[in-house]
A and B are shown apart, each in its own frame.
Chain A
Amino acid sequence: MALLKPSLLFSLARRSIASSQTLSHWNKDWKPGAYPKTEEERIAAAKKYNLLPQEYKPIPNDAAYPAGDYPDLKPYSADGRDPHYPWDYPEYRRNFNEAVPEEFNLYGFDRINVEEKLRYPMWKMLLGFVCIAGGIVVLCDLSEDTFFMPAMPRHMPAPGVTYYHYPSSSSDQH
């Protein structure tokens, strides 16, 4: 009956689900470690994130949101990466075990492209907008008082204002 002990069953099930022996398949296992202080800790953290020690630079411990030993990678967008490279995860344009920026979820295909190159420079787009919108304003300004009925304002009774009929006008008969 010792085989049916709950802890043993749990560890057996976990081993059968997990294909690797490291058993890091839960969110607490993916939590970054403490900020590396010594050189050995730095090298160990770089190896953990599959980075070379010289390109590993942890997020500063005094940042607004310190993240332990997580590497401070420059953000890149999936849109900006090579579409012809055989990625392991083409939907993310990411390779297996590749370290990703801290806010990876912001830079997918469905989010912003931080490396976007504009088709036209910003000053050209602004100039185009100002020319078209300003042209409309100028046209409206020029066309003021160019289209109206040849009639004076309506006769509305008001205190202190007198209006008159015209002789033999039909307004006299009403």
Chain B
Amino acid sequence: MAGGASPVLLLVGLAVAGLALVPLGYVIATTAELGRQEAVDFLWRPRIGELLWNTVRLLVAGVAASTVLGVAGAWIVERTDVPGRGWWHGVLCAPLAVPAFVNGYGWVSTTHAVQSFPGAVMVVTLSYYPLVYLPTVAALRRLDPGVEEVATSLGRSGWGVFTRVTLPAVSPAVLGGALLVGLHLLAEYGALQLLNYPTLTTAILQQYATVFNGPEATLLALVLVTFCLLLLGIELLLRGRRRRARVGSGASGHPLRIQLGRLKLPVLAALTGVALWALAVPLGALVRWLLRGTSATVDVGELSAATATTLGLALAGGVTATVIAVPVVWLAVRHRGLLTTAIERSVYTASAMPGIVIALALVTVSIRVVPTLYQTVVVLLLGYAILFLPRAVVSVRSTFELVPPGLEDVARNLGCTGPAVARRVTLPLVLPGLTAATALVGLAVATELTATLLLAPLGTNTLATQFWSDASAIAYGAAAPYGLALVVLSIPSTWLLGSLSLRSGT
């Protein structure tokens, strides 16, 4: 079953899987506890219909718009002769460094027109299209241009090549990106709250503020989780079973670039437009409020306290998630088997759980089962760990797979015991990967808002929660320094993702 893994390691792996399954278990268990009639009465009413309609149309329009923008951007950067491609790649990745709730603040503090359905779609699209753009750029770069060249030589037009050859070839990447956008939209709280656009997630937060973790919030969470699982299912269906594998990797590298010709100026104008709307508006708003806000007398003490708390939590959260990821990956890579694969998969279920559901689950479980942990940093860190474990596992796994098991065998033959092999051979080799995983999770923790709002012990203020308490009270000036700090903190991971997406070709 588990390829000869030590029982201790297996137990640890199972414990991690159990932790990752807490949110799903909580939703199912508390829903089962509810009387059926009670649940139906709550869910079957106009308010829920309104929330569902808002959520669904935002989901459809936001995913569609992000996909179009992301794919178009990637195609322009990778397949046309647009001038300054490297620069535009940077610009198109950059909105990732502006957390969606900071973007929402930038827009709403500039114009009220965004407090509408089209406004909400626009703001979330500008925030989340890079999630489609990045994998699509990487896939385009990896794609053997020979295939496209053959289609061209067989007489397809540029558009024909794109729709019949290029797009199908990169569709898994596009779909994967679109799925991520969908999951983020379902989980989004801050931006939509500022845009006054109620969805399931904002309603859960309101329920929480009104009746704490009552059954109503759980029912809404159930609906939300159902949506996430539906999205996953749709993505699997769409991906289908079409064969994309080929023998030999082909030659990636220098594709024929389409001459834009007369279209060069309109394309450049469009790219500039995206840069202005996705970057200049929110950053401009931050700077403007910083300079003029009446409430902007920056309290340096509070700002630095929040920064210190944020960095501390980021480091601790990153280390926790990475440390928890190691046994899972170790089992999956070194002791492949049904059980270990199941453990690894269960970790991924959390990637479909919105932060709000994870937070609600931990609030309830900690109050009921381990009340001494409630309102402590421990619960917050567990929340971060569940939320970002999928990320940590992915990046830890990619480094573990590069360590040849032969090295470990040699060490064992030379008389090292199992734990000593891990300590003296494997860990030093994977340390850079672990550091990267810690950094990635840490940076995500640093800008996390929704789960932090529920799980941070009272009195623990992070940059995100401080920004939120000011921005949601229209103290735009007071929020500005925190918003700026959040952007600065997001730059490293954005830069890392941007450069990784280009490197994957070689």
Same complex: no
